[in-house]
Each structure stands twice: as C-alpha cells, then as structure tokens.
Amino acid sequence: MSAVKMSEGHVTLASGGPPLFYRQAEPGQGSARLAVLLLHGIRFSSENWLNIRTLETLADASCRAVAIDLPGFGNSKDAIAPAPVGEPAPGNFLKQVSEALQLGPAVVISPSLSGMYSLPFLLQHSELLKAYIPVAPICTDKFTAEQYGSVQTPTLIVYGDQDTQLGKVSLNNLTKLANHKVVVMKGAGHACYLDNPAEWHRALLEFLGTL
C-alpha cells in the first residue's frame, strides 16, 4: 500500500449547532478520483471504518474517503439530530454535510441507522450522489415505489444473508431503484462489513471501478 494521508477534524453545518466530527483518508500522491462519504449504524461511529481499514483501502484506490460521526454518536455527541431515530431526516442535512466538506458529487455508503439520513438525501438531491451503497439501511419502507423508481443513481445494495430482518426488508424496497446491483455476503450478519472486511472491500472496489 502506498502512503495514505490520514486526518481528522470537525465541520460546522450552515444550519449551525455543534460541529460534526470526521475522519478522512486521502491518496498519498496524486488527486482523488472519487469522493466517498461513509455513514454508520446505531452501535457504531466513524471509528469502525478506521478499524477495518475501509478508509485506508479507499484512499489507496485513489478515493478521498470521509467518515463522519452522525449527530449524537461518537465524537459528535453534542450535535443535535434533525429527526428522531427511525424517522427520515431532512434531505438537506447531508447536503449541508457534503457542502461543508466540499465533497462535490460523492459516493455515499450507508449502513443501518444512517438510512434515515441517506435515503432522503438520495431522493431529494440525487445530483449530489455519484453512487449509493446502502447496507441494510432503516427507513426504506418510508418511501414509495414511484420515488425509488425515479432515481437513476448507480446503486450497490449490500447485505448479509444472516440478516433476516433488515437485510430482507431493505432489499425488497431498494430493488425498486432503477439502476441497482446486489451483493449478498454469505454467512454475514447485519453489520456484514465487520464479519468479512476483505469481501466487503472487494465488492466495494469492484463497484467503484465501474463508475
């Protein structure tokens, strides 16, 4: 692996309030080909993506990878969530995150809890998403087949075959997205990327290579 530039910081949104914490990995040399925004599930934070080396793996593949701690989690504990857990947040929230981080059109990776943020962002601001990678996100049942069908954003749906609840429910709804592929991780549970990081990174890089 070539040298990767790792950094961390805080970013303040246009709407104000306590800042959000983020971790970032960038290619050691040359400019990034893609920007990737990594969200997280309810028991997790940006630290997961550091620990399983997803940030490093993405930077090594010429991506600028930014993992944020969502409001109320990790090092963003003081930030106030714009919606109760389980309810779709305003799509403008991740738009502000994207603008504050100067990401431009980015790939959004969204497991579990973070679906409450990423799905409204996808449906309201699809021009700001280069691609969408949902990993058994919540809130997929809050939107209609027509809403999903109207989105052309390239999507990679990932879930573990042992995730019999959210995995299956989210799959049924997300396959209504017009432009999707599906990766099923065998023997993996809800946080499938933790169960098999190597397979997760393979699927991720393969998909990013098609963009």
Q: Which of 46, 112, 114, 170 is catalytic?
A: 112
Which residue in this structure is represented by tokens 């049942």? 141
Which H helix or E strand runs over 111?
strand 106-111
Q: Which of 45, 60, 76, 190 is catalytic?
A: 190
Q: Is 65 left (phi over 0), alpha (psi -120 to 50) or beta?
A: beta
Our answer to whether residue 112 is catalytic in this structure is yes
DSSP string, 63-104: EEEEEEPPTTSGGGTTSPPSS-TTSPPPTHHHHHHHHHTT--
Q: Are 21 and 74 in contact (CB under 8 A)?
A: yes
Nearest CA-CA partner of 189 in 157, 158, 163, 159: 163
Return d(Cα 73, Cα 78) in angstroms, integer.
Answer: 8
Which H helix or E strand runs over 134?
strand 129-135
Return d(Cα 29, Cα 43) in angstroms, integer.
Answer: 34
Q: Which of 40, 45, 110, 163 is catalytic?
A: 163
Return d(Cα 184, Cα 152) in angstroms, integer.
Answer: 22
Our answer to whether residue 161 is catalytic in this structure is no
Our answer to whether residue 195 is catalytic in this structure is no
The residues that are catalytic are: 112, 163, 190
